[in-house]
Amino acid sequence: MEEQPNALKEIKKLRSDGPRRLWEKFDEGVYREKLEGALLGRLAGCTLGAPVELWSIQDMDSLALENGDSFPPTDYWSTVPDPLKLRYEFSTRESYTRDKLNGVPVDDDIVYTLLGLLIAESHGVNFTTDNVGESWLRYLPYACTAEEITLKNLKAGHSAMTAAEIDNPYDELIGADIRSDPWGYMAPGWPEFAAEMAYRDAYISHRKNGIYGEMFFSAAISAAFTVEDPLDALKIGLSEIPKDCELAKAINWAFDLAPKITNFQEARNAVDEKFDGMHKVHTINNACLTLWGIKIGGTDITRVIGETVAMGLDNDCTAATAGSIVGAVVGKSGVPEHWYRNFNDTIHSYLIDRPSFSITDILDRFNNQASQCLQ
């Protein structure tokens, strides 16, 4: 049997033992507090990392020194270069900074969280990959890497089941795993089902470790609603992907090395040495950094997202995922107010005909999906 299959049935045969389901009943009070922590942690991590996405550690350190900001950061950047340049044709770069922040500025990491919710609302939690394709054509004006190629193929008339396989050299990059969060939010305490939803979403654009990345983090986010140590959530997430796939091997390596990783520089050095030449936005190297950011910061969400951003590579993605996992563990009460004070109950979006969302409304809608999913 292939060790890195693309079919869900074969993936399940190659998993290690896992809890599969941890919550049998839906406790709305517990869930809502943890959901809000997860979402705010994700929004904060992404917003902190976005203006320095893919920057070198040296360049981030220099910016912090020029600004008089701490590094690793403990708050949003006070200024950034090219302040009026637009990201995703919508938000200026300065809108990600401490004093200019007014609502959550746009980013694909956040857009896909919203899109996952729209998919479930339109098609139910048993949506198909074809349903994902329909939603992409309806809501996505543009995309990046594997998603860009997939969207182009969908528009050319290719099916959602084959769109990832046509002229797509990016099918193991990070684009699928940044779409993990909605499935974990909608199946809290049910990592197996979160991973199944993630599979159906990932299959449209990714294969092998690209798929496993979304399944792994969706299961980990689901498990984070039930554990006290966020590393335990990652261990549970690992049980939902093939135990001998390249991603699982890398995560196990990262766990083994974790006691020796005490800061962002050690983390980056280890990844650069282990995965020399790997694409900067690959699923595997970035997943290891996410794990180490969580290991270093524990349940201190400021340290988690600050250290993770400081590691570089695809650091808005990694910090968003780390913030989501730790936020689900600690709940809203564990997220310092300065990270969300200026969100002003608003998420800006580049989705077609959906320019903004209310955070309160998004929480209500995820709550509705989760309560139905766990019935």
pLDDT band at 375 (very low <50, low <70, confident <90, very high): confident
Question: For the chain, what are the domain ranges?
Answer: 10-373
Q: What is the mean pLDDT of residues 198-205?
A: 98
Question: What gap in Å lies between CA 186 and CA 143, rounded to an integer?
Answer: 24
Contact 304, 264 (CB under 8 A): no
Would you state the pLDDT for residue 3? Answer: 85
pTM over 0.75: yes
Would you state the pLDDT for residue 231? Answer: 98
Using the predicted structure, report yes or no on whether residue 277 has a pLDDT greater than 50.
Answer: yes
Q: What is the mean pLDDT of residues 143-159?
A: 98
Please state, for a pLDDT cut of 90, what percent of the chain lies above it: 98
User: How is 302-337 classified by DSSP, letter by letter?
Assistant: HHHHHHHHHT-SSHHHHHHHHHHHHHHHH-GGGS-G
pLDDT tens readout for residues 10-42: 999 999 999 999 998 999 999 999 999 999 999
State which amino acid sits at residue 179: R
pLDDT tens readout for residues 212-244: 999 999 999 999 999 999 999 999 999 999 999
What CATH architecture applies to the domain 10-373? Orthogonal Bundle (1.10)
Would you state the pLDDT for residue 1? Answer: 47
Phi, psi (deg, nearest 5) at residue 346: -135, 135
User: What does the longest C-alpha to C-alpha distance in the chain come to?
Assistant: 56
Please state, for a pLDDT cut of 70, what percent of the chain lies above it: 99
Which 8-state DSSP code applies to residue 78?
Answer: S
Phi, psi (deg, nearest 5) at residue 278: -70, 145
pLDDT band at 186 (very low <50, low <70, confident <90, very high): very high
pLDDT tens readout for residues 42-95: 999 999 999 999 999 999 999 999 999 999 999 999 999 999 999 999 999 999
pLDDT tens readout for residues 258-270: 999 999 999 999 9
pLDDT tens readout for residues 329-351: 999 999 999 999 999 999 999 99
Using the predicted structure, report yes or no on whether residue 278 has a pLDDT greater than 90.
Answer: yes
Would you state the pLDDT for residue 312? Answer: 98
Count Cβ neighbours within 10 Å for each residue of 311-349 and write b for 16 or more, e otherwise.
Answer: bbbbbbbbbbbbbbbbbbbbbbebbeeebbebbeebbbb
Apex 55 CA angle, 50 and 59, nearest 5: 120
